[in-house]
Structure 1
């Protein structure tokens, strides 16, 4: 003796109410200060995704130039840090903004997950394979 379709749907409906809701997309647009307090990064729309660009140099790191001197590509080592795009291709996926993050301190680009954090900050996680490092970028004031 089998259950009819209506009975199956009626029995499953209460279970659907217990399922956790999908994480709502949260905006990350805004202006932040990198975790070292050296640059200001503005995050906003870039076509169909989000990106983050250095929009102000707050202070220079001792011994560092205002150029992208650590870039793996020698042709890019003379480009200015100001205007450099650090976050690229960020799209909402499974509870986080996912894309790429460029680190001018080592010239490498990493897989990233970005999320809003407490007090208007931005949590930026960069990963190589299974090794990840998370930084907190406070909101610019």
Structure 2
């Protein structure tokens, strides 16, 4: 094999290795339903990261208003649930998207890891210190 062929083969192998993480990063973009089936969340680029925003209310949660009433910040408690950013600053790191997740049910923001499952759904894990809770958001 010539030196040129060896270099070309090596360059192609490097590009193939680098392309795998890039492809994995793009696979979470899309629309999902929360685990209760109450809202749709659209995951899309936001700057150099990914974010997930409530893009549609499918049905109202029993006993809950359509406002962010549990937010720790009193000035945000009157904002509509529609349009709230649940996933923020997701960046690809070591096999998962890592950032933060806002939970309007308790008004808190948690560290998160987001992974795409084989069936196309998202596995969203929110953590405080050592305690984590995982939810699965099916594709909408």
Alignment size in residue pairs: 120
**SS in structure 2 opposite 1:109?**
strand
Q: CA RMSD in A?
A: 1.4
> How far apart are 1:118 and its partner, in Å?
2.5
Q: Any stretches of 5+ residues in structure 2 without a counterpart? A: 1-16
- Which of structures 1 and 2 has the bigger CA Rg? 1
2: CA distance between counterparts of 1:85 and 1:122?
A: 16
Match in the other structure for 1:125: 125
Unaligned runs of 5+ in 1: 1-20
Confirm whether residue 55 of structure 1 aligns to residue 55 of structure 2: yes
CA drift of 1:131 comes to 0.5
C-alpha distance in structure 2 between counterparts of 1:118 and 1:87, whole Å: 21
Alignment of 1:34 with 2:31, yes or no, is no
What is the TM-score of this pair, normalised by structure 1?
0.82
TM superposition shift of 1:119: 1.5
Instruction: Output aligned runs, 1:1-141, within 5 Å.
Output: 24-25=21-22, 26=24, 27-140=27-140
Query: By percentage of residues, which structure has more helix?
Result: 2
TM-score by structure 2 length?
A: 0.83
Q: Per-residue deviation at 1:24? A: 2.8
1:66-88 alpha-carbon deviations (Å, 9 max, x no partner)? 00000001000000000000000
> In 2, distance between residues paired with 1:123 and 1:117?
7
Residues in 1 aligned to 2:102 and 2:123: alpha-carbon distance in whole angstroms: 15
C-alpha distance in 2, partners of 1:118/1:54?
Answer: 23
| Displaced runs of 4 or more, over 4 A | none
Distance 2:43 2:80 in 1: 19
